[in-house]
Amino acid sequence: MKEKVYNWYADLGDGDYRNPILYTDYSDPDAIRVGDDYFMTASSFCNTPGLPILHSKDLVNWKVINYALRNIPYPRYETPQHGCGVWAPAIRYHDGEFIIFFPMPDEGIFVTKTKNPWGEWSEPYPIFEGKGWIDPCPFWDDDGRAYMVSAFAKSRIGFKSILNLAEMKPDCSGLIDEGRHIFDGNENGQVTIEGPKLYKRNGYYYIMAPAGGVKPGWQVVLRSKNIWGPYEYKNVLVQGNTPVNGPHQGAWLDTQTGEEYFLHFQDVYAAGRIVHMQPVRWENDWPIMGEQISADAGQPVMTHKKPDIGENARRALENFKKENGLSDIYAPDASDDFSGEKLGMQWQWNANHKDDWYKLTGHSIQLKAVHKETENSIANTSNLLLQKWIAPEFTAYTELDTAMMQEGDIAGMVSLGVDYGAVAVRREQGTFKIVSVSGHQNFKNEQAFSQDKVEELAEVKCTPENSCKIYFRNRVEKLPSLEKDVPRQMIYLDYSTDGENYTTALEYEATAGRWVGVKNGIFCCHEGDGDGKFAEFGYFYIA
């Protein structure tokens, strides 16, 4: 296996960082600081495990440490429901517990808790059941009363651009009422206001929320001396003359020394929704985010001094890196030699998953050939093992051993967006054939419909008596932009019988998934009665 290489580090190693701090699709991020530790979570839609938990000591170097949700608590998610499932969450720390509120636009608002973010999270339970409520954020006031601010999805409830506030029980066991609408963005140029986060500072209640839509929008800050309003507002972070469109929803944070920052996402099309960090300062009890360009607003910075976390926290960070074998600069994992006892944190399945879908051998992963109806597209197959893009361009490699494959098994490498493709080996009538699979997802009433185009490319000299290894490669390469600030990438899926000389099976321009970036990974299915056996992958690495 070749050396592992990461393509994107935010830490520049000279005391500065660059944006984005994560060139990875962590959509709708929210984050908190608890002591010397920062924790972030994000939307996960229909992929499981869901609700990733990212950890940092300095707001610049991050690792995925856990997931708060093993599977999504409804049987419909046993099959992929692209664009549905877990939308924008909020994470908070209250009374010794880490608490995540997350919406499912077709089912309601849910809560999960833990005392240890590295450990097991509680089974989620609904605090509100019904369609159309999204983007919840809990808040506990100084008098002990508690509230939940949220927004609405027009596709489910028929209207949008309105923020709602409801009082809830302080232990998050239920809402006291359904509250009332406290801000209508349709009346004041703040259309599509959503993703609200509620805070309190200097006697003001602040709601930080994006408006204007994901790509063309901006950050709004509302404030009031009364939690129920009325709220005045300012647009405090805009694209300006930067390439950072949006900029969309996120989290307001402080450091141990009193510095303040705002995390938000930017939609970069095929690569998904990546995470930026802006410095924050205050004027007349209004925040200025990023580089100030007007009396009220800032624009995103592309580089900046790293956050000052204080001397004690810096010493704790050095000890933390030593104890966990981390280098001075690190990022979420991408490459995997499958030598661990557990599946790497970068991996998610395409729907609710089962533990027997894979087995780690200490030097490889064996993927079970789970039954797949022939007419079911690869995009709507549950047991795709996927990870997010980790850079604007990269190459992923894997090695497949065909020894355990039986008649009807198909296994290989997949790239999943609205336009999708795979290159694979299929065992058929005693022979092994290289095939390409491609298609396009169409959506109607939030359901995805697609049909695979399958093409036989070559027959390889693998037999049950003389098994062999096939090598796959997924190249993601930049293309020239046709519009300003609109990135484009080309996807190439290749195969090789010797690991050196590759043949291109598919090439097409990348398109994002349903509210998510393109994911790539590996799979094994069985087209026939019941399940098949296994396909063994020796590694998956990014260069």
Tell me the per-residue pLDDT of 14-60, one tens digit each, with 9 for 90 and over.
999 999 999 999 999 999 999 999 999 999 999 999 999 999 999 99
* 3-class DSSP assignment, residue 161: coil
Residue spans in the chain of domains classed CATH 2.60.120.200: 348-542
Q: How crowded is the C-beta side of 234, counted as CA atoms within 13 Å? A: 18
Give me the chain's average pLDDT, please: 95
**Biggest distance spanned by C-alpha atoms of the chain:** 77
Name the residue type at position 289.
Answer: M
What values do phi and psi take at 479, rounded to 5?
Answer: -115, 155
Residue 1: what pLDDT? 44
Q: Which DSSP string corresponds to 47-96? A: -BSEEEEEEESSSSSEEEEEEEESS-SSGGGGS--TT-SB---EEEEETT
Residue 446: what pLDDT? 85
Angle 48-53-56 from CA coordinates, rounded to 5°: 150
Q: Which DSSP string corresponds to 478-508? A: EE--SSTT--EEEEEEEEESSSSS-EEEEEE
The verdict on whether 194 is a catalytic residue reads yes
- How confident is the model over 304-309, as a mean pLDDT? 98
DSSP 373: -
Tell me the per-residue pLDDT of 524-541, one tens digit each, with 9 for 90 and over.
999 988 888 999 999 999
The CA distance from 397 to 323, in Å, is 30
Residue 75: what pLDDT? 96
Q: Is the peptide bond before 332 cis (omega within 30 degrees of 0)?
A: no
- How confident is the model over 296-324, as a mean pLDDT? 96
The verdict on whether 296 is a catalytic residue reads no
Task: Kindly tell me if the per-residue pLDDT of 504 is higher than 80.
Answer: yes
Torsion angle in degrees (nearest 10) through CA of 347, 352, 358, 362: 40
Residue spans in the chain of domains classed CATH 2.115.10.20: 16-323
Q: Given the structure tokens 């651009």, which residue do they identify? A: 161
Q: Which of 25, 28, 399, 419 is catalytic?
A: 28
Residue 86: what pLDDT? 98
Residue 191: what pLDDT? 97
Residue 529: what pLDDT? 83
Task: Kindly tell me if the per-residue pLDDT of 463 is higher than 70.
Answer: no
Six-digit token pair at 307?
Answer: 């956050």
Residue 445: what pLDDT? 84
Task: Kindly tell me if the per-residue pLDDT of 5 is higher than 80.
Answer: no
The CA distance from 38 to 31, in Å, is 7
Task: Determine what percent of the chain is predicted with pLDDT higher than 90.
Answer: 93
Q: Is the pTM of this model over 0.75?
A: yes
Fold of 16-323: Tachylectin-2; Chain A (2.115.10)
Tell me the per-residue pLDDT of 132-168, one tens digit each, with 9 for 90 and over.
999 999 999 999 999 999 999 999 999 999 999 999 9
The CA distance from 79 to 47, in Å, is 10
Task: Kindly tell me if the per-residue pLDDT of 174 is higher than 80.
Answer: yes
Residue 532: what pLDDT? 82
Residue 525 neighbours by CB distance under 10 Å: 28
Name the residue type at position 264.
Answer: H
- 271 φψ region: left (φ > 0), alpha (ψ -120 to 50), beta (else): alpha
Task: Kindly tell me if the per-residue pLDDT of 123 is higher than 60.
Answer: yes
Task: Kindly tell me if the per-residue pLDDT of 394 is higher than 70.
Answer: yes
- How confident is the model over 224-251, as a mean pLDDT? 97
Fold of 348-542: Jelly Rolls (2.60.120)
Q: Which of 25, 194, 291, 401 is catalytic?
A: 194
Q: Given the structure tokens 């709220």, which residue do they identify? A: 231
Inter-residue contact 288 to 236 (CB < 8 Å): yes
Q: Is the peptide bond before 230 cis (omega within 30 degrees of 0)?
A: yes
